[in-house]
Amino acid sequence: MVPLCGFIRRQASNRHSSQWVFPMPNYRRIRKPGGTFFFTVVTYARQPVFQNSEARSGLRRIVKKTQSQHPFYIEAMVLLPEHLHSMWTLPEGDHDYSKRWRIIKGSFTHWIRKWGFDGRIWQNRFWEHTIRDDEDFARHFDYIHYNPAKHALVDSPAKWEFSSFHRYFARGWYTEEWGSIEPENLKNIQCVGE
Ligand code: NI
């Protein structure tokens, strides 16, 4: 039997206790008509391309430009030194995330070569997972935000700058301590790449 993942709301009475809860109940998903997809994209030979701040801004700019030409909504994203995780919702009836990734990866490669990088920048393959339901959405949303701690880059996700964690922290969806230990709903997650 597949264990149910509990999305437990913190009770007002134990607001300041050290009890760990999962801050992303189902109802927080803002429903949009299109399909939602999770991705893991890795740099070639795990070069730590995104340690470089110019590379991070370059990627951000290219993603925004691609969005303006081929719309998609970024539900969550985290940028690590040599890979990224992201979750997108595409317009209704449009499932062509591959085209968007091709443009992003190609444009980024073209752009960064002007900075003296040569050779390949990206792994050809990427992991894709189609989000099935609200619980699946919440699990992948949390997976993305927990990721810097999972990879031991920081001891809690709030300390990693290049993440949509901060957008949702500002909305009160996460506490500052969230993810200092691995959240229960992430322990058996599969098909996420790394
Ligand atoms: Ni990762």
Under 8 Å between Cβ of 149 and 179? yes
Listed by start position, the domains of the chain span 28-186
Assigned token pair, 191:
């098909």
Q: List, for residues 138-165, the tens digit of each pLDDT value.
A: 999 999 999 999 999 999 999 999 999 9
Selected residue with higher pLDDT from 133 and 192: 133
In terms of Cα–Cα distance, which of 2, 178, 165 is closest to 75?
A: 165
Per-residue confidence (pLDDT) for residue 100, from 0 to 100: 97
Q: What is the mean pLDDT of residues 15-24?
A: 40
Write down the pLDDT at residue 167.
96
Which CATH topology does 28-186 take?
A: Alpha-Beta Plaits (3.30.70)
Q: What is the mean pLDDT of residues 82-103?
A: 95
Mean pLDDT confidence for 117-141: 91
Q: Which residues contact 85 (CB under 8 A, 6 or more apart)?
A: 38, 39, 40, 41, 76, 77, 78, 143, 144, 147, 192, 193
Q: What pLDDT, on a 0 to 100 scale, did the predictor assign at position 126? A: 87
The model's pTM: 0.83
Rounded to the nearest angstrom, the distance between the alpha carbon of 148 and the centre of ligand 1 is 7
More confident: 122 or 27: 122
- Band the pLDDT of 10: cuts 50, 70, 90: very low
* pLDDT bracket for residue 27 (50, 70, 90): very low
Segment 157-175 shows an average pLDDT of 96
- What residues form DSSP beta bridges with 43? 122
For 43-84, what is each residue's pLDDT tens digit?
Answer: 999 999 999 999 999 999 999 999 999 999 999 999 999 999
Centre of ligand 1 from the C-alpha of residue 166, in Å: 18
CA of 90 to the centre of ligand 1 (A): 22
Cα 194 to middle of ligand 1, angstroms? 5
12: CA distance to ligand 1 center in Å? 33
Distance of CA 13 from the midpoint of ligand 1 (Å): 35
Residue 83 CA, ligand 1 centroid: distance in Å: 7
How confident is the model at residue 190, as a pLDDT?
75
State in Å: Cα 87 to ligand 1 middle. Answer: 13
127: pLDDT confidence band, cut at 50, 70 and 90?
very high
